[in-house]
Amino acid sequence: MESLFTLWGKRDPDWEIKYQKSVFEIFTEYGKTGVSQFTESRSKTFGAGYEIFIIAFFIGLYFNQTKPLVEDKAKRKGCGQPIMYWGGITERLGRVKYEKIREFMFAALIARTDIDFIALDKGEMTPRKAVDMLVDKMEQYANFGLDFLQERMEDNPNYFFKDTAFLRVFLDFLKKEDEEAIDDEDSPESLD
C-alpha cells in the first residue's frame, strides 16, 4: 500500500479562478509556455503557479485561517502539476530545488487535519478519504492566503513589489505571536 505522503503527492490541488488575474498572473508565469529572457515573465516573482499557492498555503497556515473554496467546480482550477513535482525543477537562473517544502507542508497538514488514524489503520477509513481531507485543508489554507494577497493588492497595488514584502508578511505574524505571548505573561494568574 502506498503511503499517505505518496498518495497526497499525486494530487493537484484546486484554487478559485477569481484569483487568476489578481494573484497568479501578477506574481507567476502561470499558463506561460516557451518562456525566454525576452518575455515579460522575467519580472515575475515566482515561476510556476504552484509557487504562489505554496506562499498562500503558508499564509493561511501561519494565521491558522481557512476559507472553503466555492462548491462550483467550474469556478476552480488546478495548479497544473501534482504536488510530488513541486520544487523539483531548477529552470530559473540561480534557483535551487526546494523539494523539502513538500515534507513540511505534509507534516503541517497531518498536524492540523482531524484524521482518525486509528480508523485508518483498522481499515474503517480509506487512504483516499484521508488524502481528500488533507487536500481539502490545504486548499482552504491556500484559499485564505490567496484572499489575503488579493486584499493587500487592492489596498496597495505596490505592497508586494519590494524585495522583502513576502518575508514581511511572515515576520508580522511572528511579531503578533510574540506580542500575544508577552500579553499572556503580563496577565495575572487565575485564582481557580
E runs forming strands in the chain: 14-16, 76-78
Using alpha carbons, list the distances in angstroms from residue 61 to 148, 176, 185.
Answer: 12, 15, 25
Tell me the pLDDT band of 39, cut-offs 50, 70 and 90.
Answer: very low
Are residues 14 and 57 in contact, defined by beta-carbon separation less than 8 angstroms? Answer: no
Q: Which of 48, 60, 21, 46 is nearest to 139 (CA)?
A: 60
Are residues 106 and 5 in contact, defined by beta-carbon separation less than 8 angstroms? Answer: yes
DSSP letters of 42-64? Answer: GG-S-SSHHHHHHHHHHHHHHHT
Q: Which three cell numbers stand for residue 66?
A: 481557512
What is residue 46's predicted lDDT score, i.e. its pLDDT? 73
Tell me the pLDDT band of 40, cut-offs 50, 70 and 90.
Answer: very low
Using alpha carbons, list the distances in angstroms from residue 69 to 21, 105, 117, 140, 190.
Answer: 17, 19, 25, 6, 41
What is residue 65's predicted lDDT score, i.e. its pLDDT? 95
Q: Which residue has the higher pLDDT, 29 or 50?
A: 50
Please tell me the pTM assigned to this model. Answer: 0.82
**Where is 124: in which H helix or E strand?**
none
- For residues 26-61, one letter each, b for 16 or more C-beta atoms within 10 angstroms of the residue's C-beta and e for the rest, the string is bbbbbeeeeeeeeeebeebbbbbbbbbbbbbbbbbb
pLDDT, tens digit, 9 for 90 and up, residues 100-145: 999 999 999 999 999 999 999 999 999 999 999 999 999 999 999 9
pLDDT of 169 higher than 60: yes
CA distance 191 to 177: 25
